[in-house]
Amino acid sequence: MSRILVTASDLQAALSAGAFPDGGPVRVLDVRWRLDRPDGRPDYRAGHIPGAQYVDLDHDLAAHGAATEGRHPLPPVEALQNAARRWGIDAGDTVVVYDDLNNMSSARAWWLLRFAGVADVRLLDGAWRAWTEAGFDRETGDAAIPTPGDIDLAYGALPSLELGEVGAFADDSLLLDARAAERYRGEVEPIDPRAGHIPGAISAPTTENVDADGRFHTPDALRSRFRMLGAEDGMSVGVYCGSGVTAAHQAVALTLAGFEPRVFPGSWSQWSNHPELPVQTGPAPR
């Protein structure tokens, strides 16, 4: 668990020492983004962890193309590598990510950097709230521009799902829908062109993976939750959300629980933009 989550106290100690005892030099990324306020820079400038580099999720962690690719398709790996180097990331660094939304947004950076081959990426458990409640120093304005890093990235270090694989995966394996239950049922759809869920998917809102303080439940508690949803030991579990952001948060929880998650980056925003693909509504998977 310590290789995925860090406490505010452990991060503060690592920043003071320059590295984690079990990791490399520390690089901190602030990934503030939310659907109703995608530009998190004003909040970042109002206060952030000293030295943390601001990450623009819409531009640094996503590409922009046709609607049939989804709302947050993966950026070209060369673009992500350029961004990671701009943030000062070197090979061997320990990267810590956080946001102000219970890590629902920063988990995208966790998964994407891991998928691109960064071996040691961790989340600040409890996110920005945990840092401020601990009373640690905060920095305002923009952090100093770091020396450019030398990290080399290549996609494929974690398993994933492409659009053409998802239907068969839902037939044969466990596919979890990380969105709110009412969106899964198709009662509301505020963004994407069709309401409902991928046939065969199980509703598993990712908000249920954290406690009232925004900290992840214990691995045992998460394992029990996913077993109740149908996950078995050794099983590869697929996960999607609206546009591939909170699916990464579910992937964190699945990893903590000991399962191997396969994220569908295009998620519902891609699936629902393909009218030839079926849609299921209501509380049942099919």
* Residues tagged active-site: 241
Note whether 215 and 126 are within 8 A (CB). yes
Note whether 204 and 229 are within 8 A (CB). yes
Note whether 47 and 138 are within 8 A (CB). yes
Q: Which residues pair with 29 in a beta bridge?
A: 53, 97
Note whether 261 and 250 are within 8 A (CB). yes
**What token pair was written down for 33?**
């983004």
Residue type, 135: G
Residue type, 243: S
DSSP for 135-204, please give it. Answer: T---B-SPPPPPPP------S-SS-B--HHHHHHHHHHSEEEE-S-HHHHHTS--SSSSS-SB-TT-EE-
Residue type, 40: G
**What token pair was written down for 282?**
């209501």
**What token pair was written down for 248?**
């990464």
| CB proximity list for 139: less than 8 A, separation 6 or greater | 47, 48, 49, 50, 51, 52
The structure tokens 């409890």 sit at: 126
